[in-house]
Amino acid sequence: MTQDELKQAVARAAIAYVEGDIIGVGTGSTANFFIDELAKIKHQIKGTVASSEATAARLAGHGIPVLDLNDVAEIAVYIDGADEITEQGAMIKGGGAALTREKIVASVSKKFVCIADGSKLVDVMGKFPLPVEVLPMARNAVARQLAALGGQPKLRVKPGSDEAFVTDNGGNILDVAGLAITDPKGLEAQINQIVGVIAVGLFAARGADVCLLGTPDGVRTLAY
């Protein structure tokens, strides 16, 4: 099976976790497969809250209502991919640059269902460079502090240029390589303390409740 077929399989399996009127929807290629599946049952839900402009556009393209989070009191379930996930449900996210809105939508959702192909499961996170969204004026100041923590921060650039990539929120992203993340909650708290950081792509304090992992033998369910 290809990686895309594994992603499609978990996206299909995630439909069984759809509950309540409003669904939180993540960002990335796996989340896109989920949106395509959600479109098939869109009459069963009232609407969605999107974690990025790209996700909002794809949902709208399917005729699925996209609501402002400020108008939503409760989200039963948030469904999203991950760049790395541990057996304990902690994740690195943000490869698709949507980490801040993903974290916000996840924080108001009762259940987080992570959907990922099996290659994302790791013992210790950090092989995938940790994305940190920063205010543009603070990017060098924050980078120095991330280096002091032992990482090698690199400014994310627009594809095919050396201009800084700009997120949906007007932020920049530092991708931090070289961290062996043995204490995900501790590191998340430490990076959150750095002035100028908008959000860190470590989802440990609020990790996944369920992970659907795509493997050649079928979808494996990890519940935390």
Known catalytic residue: 133? no
Cβ 50 to ligand 5RP, closest distance in Å?
Answer: 12
Site string for ligand 5RP, 101-140 (x = CB under 6 A): -x--------------------------------------
In this chain, which stretch among 9-17, 42-50, 63-71, 98-106 interacts with ligand 5RP, using CB under 6 A?
Answer: 98-106
Q: Is residue 181 near ligand 5RP by the rule CB under 6 A?
A: no
- Applying the rule CB under 6 A, the residues between 150 and 179 that interact with ligand 5RP are none
Residue 80 or 209 with smaller CB distance to ligand 5RP: 80
Edge to edge, the sheet with strand 172-177 lists 152-155, 172-177, 130-134, 197-200
Q: Which of 90, 99, 176, 200 binds ligand 5RP (CB under 6 A)?
A: 99
Distance CA 187, CA 96 (A): 21
Binding mask 30-69 for ligand 5RP (x = CB under 6 A): x---------------------------------------
Select the residue interacting with ligand 5RP from 15, 29, 185, 222 (CB under 6 A): 29
Token code pair at residue 167: 């997120």
CA dihedral 28→63→21→70, nearest 10 degrees, is: 70
Kind and range of the H or E run holding 11: helix 3-14
Query: What does the DSSP assignment read for 169-197?
Result: TS-EEEEEES--BS-HHHHHHHHHTSTTE
Sheet with 84-85: strands ordered across: 84-85, 91-92, 202-203
For the bound state, the minimum distance from the C-beta of residue 193 to ligand 5RP, rounded and expressed in Å, comes to 22
Q: Which of 84, 102, 133, 188 is catalytic?
A: 102
Which tokens go with 44? 């069963």
As a whole number of angstroms, the distance between CA 126 and CA 69 comes to: 31
Closest CB to ligand 5RP among residues 18, 141 = 18
Task: Name the site residues for ligand 5RP (rule: CB under 6 A).
Answer: 26-30, 80-83, 93-99, 102
